[in-house]
Each structure stands twice: as C-alpha cells, then as structure tokens.
C-alpha cells in the first residue's frame, strides 16, 4: 500500500514522516524546506513524504512534484497545521474529493492552545466526513500500521465555530522587532556577530574548546599511539597521516557546532521566515526575492543543501541565478580553512573571519545583480515567531555533529591516507622522503597556477586540489603534511579569497547537476574557478602594494 | 485603493482581486479572496512587499501583486 503525506508547507509532514519511518529527513520552521518526495517502506507499507502545496495548480516546481505523488497514492495522510486550520482545509477538501482514503492528522495543537485557541478533533471528523487524529506520532503510527486508521465517518453539517477557535493570532509585542525593516536586519547581523564572537574570539568557548580538542587528538592521543606502535612507517602513516589530518579537522567541531546552533535557532524560532520577508526589498534590487534569503542563509551551513532549496522559486531564471551564486556564501566546511590561514597571522582572527563571511554574502548579491534575468515575485506564508523547541534544536545539532564526524572520519580520512601514501611513495612505489614522492612531482607541475597568489609550497597546492572533494580536506591536508601554515599576509589573504570564491565541493556539484544538469553545472564551475584565480591574484597584488 | 495603500495596523475588506492564472490561484489558496478581511502587519525594506494578516495566516506579497488586490478600509 502506498501512503502519501500531503499538506500545506510547514504543516509538519516531514516531522511526522520521520516519526513514522525512523528517518532523519531535514525539517525546518519555514515554508519550503522539503523540495523533493522521499519514499520509505515500513512493514510492507510505503510512506512518501512530499513537498508542501496549497493546490494542484503547481505554482512552483516542488508543488508540481507533490501533486504527482499525491495523485499516485492509495491513501493520503493530510497533515494539517492547527494554527492555520481554516486555510489548511481548502486543500483538505480537494484531497478528499481526489481520494476518499484520506485521514487528517493535526499538528501544533499545543501551540494553538498556548494562544488561547482549541480544535475539537471529534467534531472536525464529523465536519469533514473523514477520520481526524490529534495524538502523538507513535500512537498514530500504530493505528496506521495496524490498518485501523481508516474507518467510515458520517458527515454532519455544523457551524465551523463549533469545531475550531483560532485564539489570539495577532502579532505580539515580542514579534514586532522581527518584522521591522529597521530592527530585523540589525537582529540578524547582531546574532551572526555574537556567534562569530563566541566562536572565534580568543578566550571564548569556541576557540578554547578547539585548542583543547586539538591538543587531545593531535598531540596526546597521537603520542600515546605512536609510543605503542612498533612499526615506524605505520606509526607515521596513522599518527601523522590519519590522526594529524583528521584530528586537525575534528578539532573545529566545537566552533562549527556554535555556528550551526545559531542557524538552527534562527530557523526553528521563525526568525528566518521573518527575515525573508523583511529582506525582500534588498533581493528585489538584485532581481531575486526574499525567498533567496532562505537559500543564502542555508548556504552558511551547507552549499549542497542550499542548492536543493531553490526548487521553491517560481521562476527558473531566479533558480539558476541563485544556484550560480550560492558557492560564494561560505559554508561551514570553509570555516576551518579560513582559520588555518588566519590564525598564525592574527592573535584575534574574529574581524578577519567576519569580513570574509559578509564579503561572501555581498559578492553573491553583486553577482546576482550582474546576471541578466527577470525578477521573482513573492507570495509566501510567513511563520509566526515562537520559542524554539529544545528537543528539536538538540536533535538537529546532534544530527549535524554526527554527520560531520562521519564525513571527516570516512571521506577526509580516506583523502589523508591517500595523500600520505602518495607523498611517501616514489614512482617506483618505494618509500621515500616527502620531497621525492609522487605527490610532490605532480603538484610542483601545477604550482605555476598558484604562484601569483603567493603560494610556492607544493603541499599547499595539493591541499587546494583536495578541497574540490570536500573543503574540510584543505585544513586536514595542511595539518597532515605541513603541521601549520604560516603565510605572509598577502598570500594568506589571497588563499582565503580563493577558498571563498572557488567552486564548492563534490556534494554541491552533484546537487547542482541534479537541479540544472551537467553541462550548465560544468559551465558555472569553470567560470567560478577562473574568477577565483583572478580574484586571488588581484588580492595578492593589492595586499603586496599596501 | 490597493491593499498596498493600507497603513500598518489598518484593516481592509477585499473588493476585487485583479490577478490571473497561477498568481490568482496562489492568492486564493492563501485566503486572499473577495470579501476577506486583511490587516496590514508590516512593510519590508524599501517597501518592496507587504505582510498581510489574512484570518489566522500571515502572507507576504510583493508590491506588484499587492497592487492587484483592491480593498475598502474597514471602519
């Protein structure tokens, strides 16, 4: 049996899907987080999570995909947001007309009660003529899997007021600053500056935890293991190669966690949704809409994930332009690389890193302005501002940290191992010094490309190349092959600019291919690479003059 | 007058929606139909869009679309 979860955007479909199937799909307090359908089988029942839609007219690509999934369903679970029930029922009536095997699952009933409203599930059941459930997801799962969720219901005519009272839905005083065109941007900038301060400023938690973790993994653990290993070559391979590289990147976990926490709080509180509305005027001037704010801010976490959010654009030209500029927004993986270059030069890298982050966003906006294209309209629902749920924030943060650790201990570790082997083996596959290794010869041949940036160390050249697979590899490779990287200011600035503007990683490449096809993705990446080199050369030249 | 002419906090009853096609369908799906009451909640940077309270829903609408929605101010 195929069951599709359908409902308005931000109703809670993905949250329910995760509870029904044990999945960990991305959720958020924003209209348009889910952009593709996803199916999973549980005990012979196939559940499909679909993007939110208001009607079957396919105003956006994601709505078209949702409509297709819904039409092919055997049964429908209509997830309905109790806070906007009256509006949600427009879709419910269409779903019931399409497929009589529809049940309604109510969400956010506690939030409705908190604002003085209530919904009578039993009365709503008679009002609609289909089963209505207001119960915890685990209980609902048992009903669905046992086949007893669907049962006949006799429809009765009754006033809607007997079924539902919306409570106090007006904007509260505490919400007003988030919708103010003066205070909302200031709140966002203040939150980001506070986050950067706690993350990078010396003697702040982020920097302290990073130093402690690096000492633990790269010094104490490496020394302990090295003293216990009898084979010197293997000790060098594991302690210098793997631990040195992987440990160097893992030590950034506390700082990345602070950055992710800020983004999760912005999202879960509804502040992201409000910011999209308030900044719409800014995006209008670059021929986009406030919808792009969601994609750009998502890019601060991960470029690949941000690319998938562009499905919510109504116009294809806006989608293409946003995908083209997303790599300029510094993702979380670039943070360790910036700090690797800046920390040896600045006792306090906080202002420099802030400058890089805001420059990246500014560059994305400027390039969007330069690109030719029509403007994008804006008609979107905005989420109310609420206190984020502790469990939702905790679960998301833990999931991101776990994914980071898995990525670093698998992909990054593999690159570190490959890098160590290629740097310690010559073309006759004999162990040798690093300067005679295969890697040294290959990278020296490519060094002229990086020389105008002030890079004259082949190991740094290799680090940049590994960055195209995953940006964390750059910091890991430098940590493994060089220990640390102290460059003069012009070269460090040029390297940071190169990392800021070069094409994103292989995950983003794959995501872009899925959205806009391989030829266009290759074109965008080639243009970005040329621009990155040009800008890095110019940065080195300007800083040398200063 | 159009809904974009409302001041923050002012309420209006929709008398006409002059949009067509997908835009009209989206507005209708969000409750912006003739006879509905809307409240102007806020304006974005550079006054590019307006945040409307429509029933229990908050909807952000760009100026060009908002100018298609005619209202008479509620007394």
Of B66 and A297, more confident: B66
- What gap in Å lies between CA A3 and CA A144, rounded to an integer? 10
- What gap in Å lies between CA A405 and CA A319, rounded to an integer? 31
* % of chain A exceeding 90 in pLDDT: 26
Q: Exposed/middle/buried for A241, CB within 10 Å: 0-12, 13-18, 19+? A: buried
Residue of A nearest to B23 (CA): A59
- What gap in Å lies between CA A379 and CA A487, rounded to an integer? 49
What is the nearest CA distance from A26 to chain B, expressed in angstroms? 24
What CATH number corresponds to the domain at position A11? 3.40.50.300
Q: Which residues of B touch A58 (CB under 8 A)?
A: 22
The mean predicted confidence, pLDDT, of chain A is 86
Mean per-residue pLDDT, A53-77: 83
- What gap in Å lies between CA A330 and CA A307, rounded to an integer? 14
Mean per-residue pLDDT, B43-66: 90
Same domain, residue pair A192 and A316: yes
Predicted confidence band at A331 (pLDDT cuts at 50, 70, 90)? confident
A380 occurs within a structural domain: no
In this predicted structure, the answer to whether residue A373 has a pLDDT above a threshold of 70 is: no
Residue among B22, B27, B58 whose CB faces A382 most closely: B58
In this predicted structure, the answer to whether residue B57 has a pLDDT above a threshold of 90 is: no
Tokens encoding A209: 């935890």
A177 occurs within a structural domain: no
Neighbouring residues of A229: CB distance < 8 A, sequence distance ≥ 6: A235, A238, A239
Q: Which residues of A touch B52 (CB under 8 A)?
A: none
A482 occurs within a structural domain: yes
Same domain, residue pair A86 and A191: no
Neighbouring residues of B47: CB distance < 8 A, sequence distance ≥ 6: A281, B63
For A486, phi and psi rounded to 5 degrees?
-105, 105
CA distance to A173, A271, A326, per residue, from A284 (Å): 28, 20, 17
User: Which of A139, A165, A191 marks a domain boundary?
Assistant: A165
User: Which of A165, A195, A229 marks a domain boundary?
Assistant: A165
Tokens 């966690």 sit on residue: A257
Same domain, residue pair A262 and A309: yes
Same domain, residue pair A144 and A222: no
Mean per-residue pLDDT, A362-382: 78
In this predicted structure, the answer to whether residue A287 has a pLDDT above a threshold of 80 is: no
**pLDDT number for residue A336:** 85
Residue B38, domain extent: 3-73
Q: Which residues of A touch B65 (CB under 8 A)?
A: 377-379
**pLDDT number for residue A537:** 95
Same domain, residue pair A317 and A242: yes
pLDDT in tens, A160-172: 888 999 887 788 8
Termini Cα distance of chain B? 15
Q: Which residues of B touch A381 (CB under 8 A)?
A: 30, 57-60
Is residue A543 within 8 angstroms of chain B, CB to CB?
A: no
In this predicted structure, the answer to whether residue A376 has a pLDDT above a threshold of 70 is: no
Neighbouring residues of A498: CB distance < 8 A, sequence distance ≥ 6: A453, A464, A532, A533, A535, A536
A106 occurs within a structural domain: yes
**Mutation choice for A interface testing from B31, B44, B46, B53 by most A CBs within 10 A:** B44
Highest mean pLDDT among A52-61, A196-205, A505-514 belongs to A505-514
Among the residue ranges A230-234, A298-302, A498-502, the one predicted with the least confidence is A230-234
Tokens 């969720």 sit on residue: A149
Same domain, residue pair A93 and A216: no
In this predicted structure, the answer to whether residue A508 has a pLDDT above a threshold of 80 is: yes
**Check: complex ipTM more than 0.90:** yes
In this predicted structure, the answer to whether residue A263 has a pLDDT above a threshold of 90 is: no
In this predicted structure, the answer to whether residue A375 has a pLDDT above a threshold of 70 is: no
Predicted confidence band at A540 (pLDDT cuts at 50, 70, 90)? very high
Q: Which residues of B touch A114 (CB under 8 A)?
A: none
CA A176 to chain centre: 27
The mean predicted confidence, pLDDT, of chain B is 90
Same domain, residue pair A353 and A254: yes
Residue of B nearest to A183 (CA): B45
What is the nearest CA distance from A215 to chain B, expressed in angstroms? 47
Same domain, residue pair A289 and A211: yes
Is residue A116 within 8 angstroms of chain B, CB to CB?
A: no
> How many CB atoms are located within 10 Å of the residue A450 CB?
24
In this predicted structure, the answer to whether residue A198 has a pLDDT above a threshold of 90 is: no
Tokens encoding A66: 């949702």
**pLDDT number for residue A404:** 86
CA torsion, ordered A336, A340, A341, A344, to nearest 10 deg: 140
Strand spans (E) along A327-423: 379-381
Same domain, residue pair A319 and A421: yes
DSSP A154-195: ------GGGTEE----SPPGGGHHHH-TTHHHHHHHHHHHHH
Residue among B45, B54, B61 whose CB faces A281 most closely: B45
What CATH number corresponds to the domain at position B52? 2.30.30.90
Same domain, residue pair A252 and A137: no
CA distance to A246, A247, A419, A437, per residue, from A233 (Å): 18, 19, 15, 15
Supply the Cα-derived Rg of chain A in whole angstroms: 26
In this predicted structure, the answer to whether residue A422 has a pLDDT above a threshold of 90 is: no
Neighbouring residues of A353: CB distance < 8 A, sequence distance ≥ 6: A196, A200, A335, A338, A339, A342
Residue of B nearest to A169 (CA): B56
Whose CA is closest to A447, among A435, A434, A464, A432?
A: A464
pLDDT in tens, A139-188: 999 999 998 898 889 999 989 888 999 887 788 888 899 999 889 889 88
Same domain, residue pair A155 and A192: no
A297 occurs within a structural domain: yes
Whose CA is closest to A59, among A515, A377, A288?
A: A377
Is residue A280 within 8 angstroms of chain B, CB to CB?
A: yes
In this predicted structure, the answer to whether residue A307 has a pLDDT above a threshold of 70 is: yes
Predicted confidence band at A121 (pLDDT cuts at 50, 70, 90)? very high
Whole-structure pTM value: 0.82
* Contact between A462 and A477 (Cβ < 8 Å): yes
- What gap in Å lies between CA A392 and CA A386, rounded to an integer? 13
- What gap in Å lies between CA A206 and CA A259, rounded to an integer? 10
A379 occurs within a structural domain: no
Kind and range of the H or E run holding B58: strand B57-62
Residue among A55, A85, A384 whose CB faces B58 most closely: A384
- Counted domains in chain B: 1
Highest mean pLDDT among A229-233, A312-316, A331-335 belongs to A331-335
Residue of A nearest to B30 (CA): A87
A246 occurs within a structural domain: yes
**pLDDT number for residue A125:** 94
Predicted confidence band at A526 (pLDDT cuts at 50, 70, 90)? very high
- Contact across the interface for B59 and A379, Cβ inside 8 Å: yes
Same domain, residue pair A161 and A211: no
Residue of A nearest to B41 (CA): A171
* Contact between A460 and A482 (Cβ < 8 Å): yes
pLDDT in tens, A3-49: 999 999 889 999 999 999 988 787 777 676 777 788 999 888 999 99
Residue A351, domain extent: 183-374+397-545
Residue of A nearest to B32 (CA): A87
Residue of B nearest to A383 (CA): B58
**Mutation choice for B interface testing from A378, A380, A381 by most B CBs within 10 A:** A378
CA distance to A196, A207, A217, A239, A407, per residue, from A213 (Å): 19, 10, 6, 16, 18
- Counted domains in chain A: 2
**Mutation choice for A interface testing from B32, B36, B45, B54 by most A CBs within 10 A:** B45
Kind and range of the H or E run holding A304: helix A303-308
**Mutation choice for A interface testing from B17, B33, B49 by most A CBs within 10 A:** B49
pLDDT in tens, A334-371: 888 898 898 888 877 888 888 888 899 889 888 888 87
User: Which of A165, A195, A222 marks a domain boundary?
Assistant: A165
**pLDDT number for residue A377:** 67
Predicted confidence band at A266 (pLDDT cuts at 50, 70, 90)? confident
Q: Say how many CB pairs under 8 Å bridge A and B.
A: 117
Tokens 């912005």 sit on residue: A266
A392 occurs within a structural domain: no
Residue among A58, A171, A278 whose CB faces B44 most closely: A278
**Mutation choice for B interface testing from A66, A91, A379, A386 by most B CBs within 10 A:** A379
């Amino acid at each position: 049996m195929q069951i599709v979860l359908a409902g308005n955007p931000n109703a809670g479909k993905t949250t329910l899907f995760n509870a029904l199937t044990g999945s960990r799909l991305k959720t958020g307090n924003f209209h348009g987080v889910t952009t593709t359908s996803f199916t999973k089988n549980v005990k012979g029942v196939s559940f499909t999570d679909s993007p939110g839609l208001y009607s079957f007219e396919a105003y956006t690509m994601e709505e078209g995909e949702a409509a297709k999934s819904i039409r092919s369903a055997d049964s429908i679970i209509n997830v309905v947001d109790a806070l906007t029930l009256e509006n949600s029922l427009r879709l419910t009536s269409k779903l019931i007309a399409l497929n009589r095997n529809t049940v309604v699952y109510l969400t956010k009933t506690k939030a409705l009660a908190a604002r003085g409203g209530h919904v009578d599930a039993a009365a709503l059941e008679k009002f609609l003529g289909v089963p209505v459930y207001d119960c915890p997801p685990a209980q609902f799962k048992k009903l669905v899997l046992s086949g007893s969720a669907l049962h006949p219901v006799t429809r009765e005519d009754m006033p809607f007021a007997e079924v539902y009272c919306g409570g106090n839905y007006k904007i509260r005083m505490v919400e007003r600053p988030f919708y103010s065109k003066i205070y909302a941007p200031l709140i966002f900038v203040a939150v980001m500056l506070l986050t950067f301060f706690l993350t990078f400023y010396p003697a702040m938690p982020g920097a302290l935890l990073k130093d402690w973790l690096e000492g633990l993994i790269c010094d104490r653990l490496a020394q302990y293991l090295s003293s216990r290993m009898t084979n010197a070559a293997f000790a060098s391979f594991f302690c210098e190669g793997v631990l040195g590289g992987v440990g160097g990147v893992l030590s950034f976990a506390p700082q990345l966690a602070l950055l992710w926490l800020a983004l999760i709080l912005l999202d879960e509180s509804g502040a992201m949704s409000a910011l999209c509305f308030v900044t719409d005027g800014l995006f209008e001037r670059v021929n986009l809409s406030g919808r792009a704010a969601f994609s750009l801010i998502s890019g601060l976490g991960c470029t690949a994930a941000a690319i998938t959010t562009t499905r919510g654009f109504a116009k294809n030209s806006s989608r293409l332009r946003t995908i083209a500029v997303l790599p300029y927004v510094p993702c979380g993986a670039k943070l360790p690389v910036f700090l690797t270059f800046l920390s040896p030069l600045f006792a306090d890298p906080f202002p420099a890193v802030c400058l890089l982050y805001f420059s990246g966003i500014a560059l994305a906006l400027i390039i969007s302005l330069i690109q030719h294209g029509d403007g994008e309209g804006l008609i979107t629902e905005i989420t109310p501002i609420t206190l984020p749920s502790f469990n939702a924030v905790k679960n998301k943060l833990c999931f991101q940290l776990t994914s980071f650790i898995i990525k670093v201990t698998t992909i990054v570790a593999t690159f570190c191992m490959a890098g160590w082997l290629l740097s310690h083996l010559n073309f006759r596959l004999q162990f040798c010094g690093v300067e005679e290794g295969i890697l040294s010869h290959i990278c020296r041949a490519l060094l002229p490309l990086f020389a105008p940036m002030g890079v004259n160390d082949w190991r740094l050249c290799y680090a940049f190349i590994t960055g195209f697979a995953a940006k964390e590899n750059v910091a890991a490779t430098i940590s493994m092959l060089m220990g640390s990287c102290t460059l003069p200011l012009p070269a460090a600035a040029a390297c940071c600019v190169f990392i800021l503007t070069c094409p994103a990683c292989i995950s983003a490449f794959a995501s872009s291919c899925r959205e806009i096809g391989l030829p266009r993705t290759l074109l965008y990446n080639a243009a970005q690479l040329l621009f990155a080199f040009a800008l890095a050369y110019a940065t080195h030249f300007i800083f040398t003059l200063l | 007058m159009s809904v974009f002419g409302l001041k923050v906090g002012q309420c209006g009853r929709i008398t006409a929606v002059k949009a067509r096609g997908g835009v009209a369908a989206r507005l209708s799906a969000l409750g912006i139909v003739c006879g509905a009451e809307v409240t102007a909640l806020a304006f974005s940077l550079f006054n590019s869009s307006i945040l409307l309270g429509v029933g229990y829903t908050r909807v952000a609408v760009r100026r060009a679309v908002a100018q298609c929605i005619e209202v008479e101010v509620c007394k």
